[in-house]
Amino acid sequence: MNVKHIIILLFAGALLMPEALAHRYIANDGSHTSAENALPIGDIDLSQVVYHEVTENTRQLWLSFEAEAGVEAKIQIGVPLIERYRDFRPAFALLGPGLPPVDAVPFPIPEGYGGILYATDGIESPVIFNEEFTGTMSWQFDMQTYELPETGLYYIVGFVPSEELGKFWIAPGTREFFGLGDILSLPWVIYRVRTFHEVFFWGGILGWGYLGILLVLLALLLA
């Protein structure tokens, strides 16, 4: 077996690693703060995560997706486990055609749309989630499941009812799928996820596993 075959096997093993990333990472540059510039997330069934920092200029995070009537949208929200955010309670609204009227949200709702609001204000002890693959921890709120009433464009809007500044993440979908591009971008993803959680920039099962693979490849190439 030559070096090329070994490299292929190592990366194939990484691709087949069970629950390799827990959620597929979607980059957020902070500009997705309205319906007009919502971040498209594609298939609502695909397990994905978007991290967001709430600042004076980024009060909301708007995500968009298209779906057919009858599809289930599963959405979860969480907060990085950082002591100053212990009482931080974000919320999200699912907006779309055929949903009931919704009010008491600090942003305009697209014309003809209704919505469903999920708030975490009354939850005193959210679950602590240890994401071993990136080596990060979060306060995690229960997954919410909604059956979409009509075919069309939907929005998920994350925000903080108290208007406090802080950080939260939104994770739609549960079906896991990762390609070679996801594996190759792991160093960048690990760095972004860990710095968002304010821990050392490298670590977790994926981080040390990826570094180990690179060291093995380097040893083989130098042999």
Q: What is the pLDDT along the chain (223 residues), one digit of tens a residue?
A: 554 554 444 454 544 444 444 588 999 999 999 999 999 999 999 999 999 999 999 999 999 999 999 999 999 999 999 999 999 999 999 999 999 999 889 999 999 999 999 999 999 999 999 998 899 999 999 999 999 999 999 999 999 999 999 999 999 999 987 666 676 788 899 999 999 999 999 888 877 777 777 787 778 788 7
Spell out the residues 6+ positions from residue 57 whose beta carbon is closer than 8 angstroms to its own.
30, 33
Residue 43 structure tokens: 């298939």
The Cα angle at residue 208 between residues 204 and 209, in degrees rounded to 5: 105
Q: Which two tokens stand for residue 112?
A: 């003809």
Burial classification of residue 182, based on how many CB atoms lie within 10 Å of its CB (0-12 exposed, 13-18 middle, 19 or more buried): middle
AA letter at 91: A
Report how far residue 175's alpha carbon sits from residue 181's, in angstroms, rounded to the nearest whole number. Answer: 18
pTM for the full model?
A: 0.87
Q: Quote the CA–CA distance of 202 and 216 in Å, as a whole number.
A: 18
169 neighbors 52 (Cβ within 8 angstroms): yes
3-state secondary structure labels for all residues of 176-222: CCCCHHHHHCHHHHHHHHHHHCCCCCCCHHHHHHHHHHHHHHHHHHH
Packing angle of the helix pair 204-222, 186-196 (nearest 10 deg): 150
